[in-house]
């Protein structure tokens, strides 16, 4: 018996970052949207606990091991083989590690529903990372606080887009340090979640800015940075345009280019038992 769980990437269509408070954390105002670019987490109950991954760069201490450690504070985790299939690039602002953690939480709760109450899973998600709670609800959502105060929004029509990640990743801590060195306004949410804006564009690497410009040259109706980078995305009028823009960006030699689309809440929480 194996449970397969989708771990979708996310984009921030709007992201304002406030100055750090007394705790050292940054409040934010953001819109999150789950997209079809996704990792996969497969969970197979077995004789011993084991985590494998198709990406050799996965560190020994990662979001999956952190989830398991926190769950064990309430109850022993039954032995499982956990297979992580990576498709979301690291250090990209697409939330891959956070989504993997949420997928593992959702999957273990599906397999062993009596071991942990849902409220405890939510607290574990918050402890693992600021983006993890979003991936427990998926779809489109408004985020406040440190990212944990979430307001689910109704599913919107499917939006096609193209995701591009330049060569260099952007360490999150470095991006925050550079952003904190600048004064910036602390503004309210726009009414439209698709009003693209990201405070981290103030400090993004030149390659990110170039990718944003090239996406629009090739037909994106708007483009911007997601999270703290280094991935950027461009909105496309339809599926055909998304594939055409992606082909043009690939022809220019960008190392990671993927057409994708937004997911409904149900699609972003998909899992299948076989």
Q: How confident is the model at residue 187, as a pLDDT?
A: 80
pLDDT by residue for the chain (274 residues), tens only, comes to: 999 999 999 999 999 999 888 888 899 999 999 999 999 999 999 999 999 999 998 999 999 999 999 999 988 999 999 999 999 999 899 999 999 999 999 999 999 999 999 899 999 999 999 999 999 999 999 999 988 899 999 999 999 999 999 987 777 888 889 999 988 888 889 999 999 999 999 999 999 999 999 999 999 999 999 999 999 999 999 999 999 999 999 999 999 999 999 999 999 999 999 9
Q: How confident is the model at residue 65, as a pLDDT?
A: 98
Domains of the chain by range and CATH? 3-154 (3.30.230.10), 160-261 (3.30.70.890)
Q: How many CB atoms lie within 10 A of CB 33?
A: 27
pTM for this prediction: 0.96
Q: Are 107 and 6 in contact (CB under 8 A)?
A: no
CA nearest to 89, candidates 78, 80, 100: 100
Six-digit token pair at 70?
Answer: 């926190």
Q: How confident is the model at residue 168, as a pLDDT?
A: 76
- Please list the active-site residues: 10, 131
Q: How confident is the model at residue 234, as a pLDDT?
A: 99
């Amino acid at each position: 018996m194996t449970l397969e769980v989708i771990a979708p990437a996310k984009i921030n269509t709007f992201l304002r970052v406030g100055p750090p408070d007394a705790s050292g954390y940054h409040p934010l105002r953001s819109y999150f949207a789950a997209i079809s670019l996704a990792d996969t987490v497969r969970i197979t109950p077995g004789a011993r606990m084991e985590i494998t991954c198709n990406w050799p760069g996965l560190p020994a201490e990662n979001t999956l091991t952190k989830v398991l450690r926190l769950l064990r504070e309430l109850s022993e985790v039954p032995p499982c083989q956990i297979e992580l299939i990576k498709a979301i690039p690291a250090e990209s602002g697409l939330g891959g590690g956070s989504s993997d953690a949420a997928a593992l939480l959702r999957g273990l709760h599906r397999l062993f529903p009596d071991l942990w109450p849902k409220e405890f899973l939510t607290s574990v998600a918050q402890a693992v990372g600021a983006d993890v709670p979003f991936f427990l609800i998926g779809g489109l959502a408004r985020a406040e606080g440190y990212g944990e105060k979430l307001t689910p929004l109704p599913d919107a029509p499917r939006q096609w887009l193209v995701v591009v990640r330049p060569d260099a990743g952007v360490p999150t801590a470095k991006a925050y340090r550079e952003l904190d060195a600048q004064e910036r306004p602390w503004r309210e949410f726009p009414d439209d979640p698709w009003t693209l804006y990201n405070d981290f564009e103030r400090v993004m690497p030149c390659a990110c800015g170039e990718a944003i410009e090239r996406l629009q040259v090739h037909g994106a109706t708007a483009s911007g940075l997601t999270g703290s980078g280094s991935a950027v995305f461009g909105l496309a009028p339809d599926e055909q345009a998304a594939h055409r823009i992606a082909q043009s960006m690939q022809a220019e030699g960008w190392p990671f280019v993927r057409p994708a689309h937004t997911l409904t809440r149900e699609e972003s929480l998909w899992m299948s038992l076989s």
